Amino acid sequence: METKISKEATVVKHTGSQYLVSDLPNWELVTCVLRGKLRLKGSKTTNPIAVGDKVIYDPQEDGSGVITEVLPRKNYIIRKSTNLSRQAHIIASNLDQVFLVVTLDFPETKLEFIDRFLVTCEAYKIPAVILLNKRDLITQEYSAFKEFFYNTYAVSAGYNIIETSGLEGYDLTQLKEMCKGKLSLFSGISGVGKSSLINSLDPALSLKTGDISQYHKQGKHTTTYYQIHPLSSGGFIIDTPGIKGFGLLEMQKEELSHYFPEMLKVLDNCRFAPCTHTHEPGCRVKEAVENGTITEQRYQSYLSMLEQEEKYR
Ligand code: GDP
Ligand code: ZN
């Protein structure tokens, strides 16, 4: 009798009861199903296996596979739940970076949305890069706002901002370079030009962005299936159509400021520990807000998130 040799691969797509896996960075898809017993585990999430998961599967004679094990996740993000049920849906796991596509206007990406998004990425320990998209629309009249934006997110918070335009095909060289050898997730509010940008990164993907209109047709009560796409220039990406935001991990109130990099830098020197950076004397965070190294904008976002955290307790 032949002995079966188990193989390791990454889940790249999930449709119904089937999972497509590939031994990344190779792109050779194997259709798998879950071994019955495995299905019972992980009942806290609506999907026991997510895109990006590394799994062990037993190859079958017909070329398919049976998944027997899900390996521990390096990280994962969940979708903000739309109802009150505590069930979480894992969007993707084992991400190397997240690209947050934003526009200053047409449409306006609210800064509070950006702050929440970045906090979530910090909490999940996933590096975030801001793509300031539709750069062709950032005319002279936006120069003050643009300067403020850079000062807040690059100078003070330390994030990498890259100006892009799917329309102009800018700056695809840099973006492609950053995607090489990595699994990247693209996110952003609807209308910021995310699909156009992804399509200009790799025109071969344009067929697949049809999935997006499909999503809108389905309405909000159906499950969206996320998938990993290979980029012809190297690396793998996941698009997140229709995402309003990520679900926050449960965290202690005191932890929140750790997810603002510019606060993390100074908070060890606050006189009181823990410090909520609201009313305590000798607070280095408040000092930094006063001298401008932490911007008022980010501090206000912090306060409003802190307040909302309290409300849910
Ligand atoms: P998504 O909802 O984020 O996927 O956005 P789409 O890619 O569907 O683009 C939304 C709208 O913005 C479309 O009308 C695009 O033509 C337009 N758009 C996309 N990229 C750019 C850009 O770089 N500059 C300008 N001016 N418009 C763009
Ligand atoms: Zn403090």
Residues with Cβ within 8 Å of residue 2, at least 6 apart in sequence: none
The domains of the chain are located at: 7-70, 76-239, 256-311
136 CB within 6 A, ligand 1: yes
Distance CA 108, CA 103 (A): 6
194 CB within 6 A, ligand 1: yes
Among the listed residues 229, 301, 235, 230, the one whose alpha carbon sits nearest the alpha carbon of residue 262: 301
The fold of the 7-70 domain, in CATH, is OB fold (Dihydrolipoamide Acetyltransferase, E2P) (2.40.50)
Nearest atom in ligand 1 to 133's CA = 23
Give tens-digit pLDDT for 222-234.
Answer: 456 789 999 999 9
Distance CA 301, CA 220 (A): 28
Q: Are residues 152 and 65 in contact, defined by beta-carbon separation less than 8 angstroms? A: no
The fold of the 76-239 domain, in CATH, is Rossmann fold (3.40.50)
Nearest atom in ligand 1 to 168's CA = 23
**How remote is the CA of residue 118 from the centroid of ligand 1, in Å?**
22
Give tens-digit pLDDT for 136-168.
Answer: 999 999 999 999 999 999 999 999 999 999 999
pLDDT on residue 216: 46
Give tens-digit pLDDT for 96-142.
Answer: 999 999 999 999 999 999 999 999 999 999 999 999 999 999 999 99
3-state secondary structure of 147: helix
Nearest atom in ligand 1 to 191's CA = 2
165 CB within 6 A, ligand 1: yes
Name the CATH code of domain 256-311 (choices 1.10.357.20, 3.40.640.10, 1.10.40.50, 1.10.150.120): 1.10.40.50
pTM, rounded to two decimals: 0.90
Torsion of CA 24, 25, 28, 30, to 10 degrees: 0
109 CB within 6 A, ligand 1: no
**How remote is the CA of residue 97 from the centroid of ligand 2, in Å?**
29
Question: 79 or 30, which is more confident?
Answer: 30
